[in-house]
Amino acid sequence: MNIEAQSGTEHLIGLISDTHGMVRPDVHTVLAGVELILHAGDVGEGVLSELRTIAPVRAVFGNTDPPGYPDLEEAIDLVVGGVSIHVSHGHETGSPKPEKLSSIYGSDVIVYGHTHRQLIFEVGGRLVINPGAAGARRFSLSPSVGLLRIAKGTASAEIVSLDD
């Protein structure tokens, strides 16, 4: 998939992970206006159809998603506005850490989940992002999602906390 920008266009992509079958009401507000939602796994039942009321969705398998679950991919590789993006859950690497993920995947932006820990980390000019867990609170971590902005071939990201 390749989404190219028109001259001067900025792309806004929603990043979400570890919903485990729950979509918090403020996800609709935070992700309003995104052109695409990328889900980094551990989706759960009913989540993708609800997220599709906001924007088109692509999602990967997490370690708790059953094999053969419809509409989930092993990994996602796409280019948006000249920026390459890789999405996977991260569990396929064992214990996902930004340095490890950046050594495996060569994309400009790497999005993963699994740890439930919010993270934006730069490695060699590339972004590694974990939007945190958007589902039920676990491990004393606050729920969150991410926003990825792409303009003029450059990516930036932010983490947005959700109501608990």
Tens of pLDDT along 45-80? 999 999 999 999 999 999 999 888 889 999 999 999
CB 157 within 8 A of CB 147: yes
pLDDT digits (tens, 9 = 90+) for 109-122: 999 999 989 999 99
β pairing state of 109-111 and 154-161: unpaired
Given this model, what pLDDT does residue 6 score? 47
Other beta carbons within 10 Å of 108: 18
Q: What is the CA radius of gyration of the chain?
A: 14
Q: For residue 102, is pLDDT > 70? A: yes
Segment 3-43, tens digit of pLDDT: 554 445 899 999 999 999 999 999 999 999 999 999 999 99
The closest alpha carbon to 5, from 76, 83, 78, belongs to: 83
Under the banding of pLDDT at 50, 70 and 90, the label for residue 163 is confident
User: CA–CA distance from 50 to each of 43, 91, 156 (Å)?
Assistant: 11, 25, 26
Whole-structure pTM over 0.75, yes or no? yes
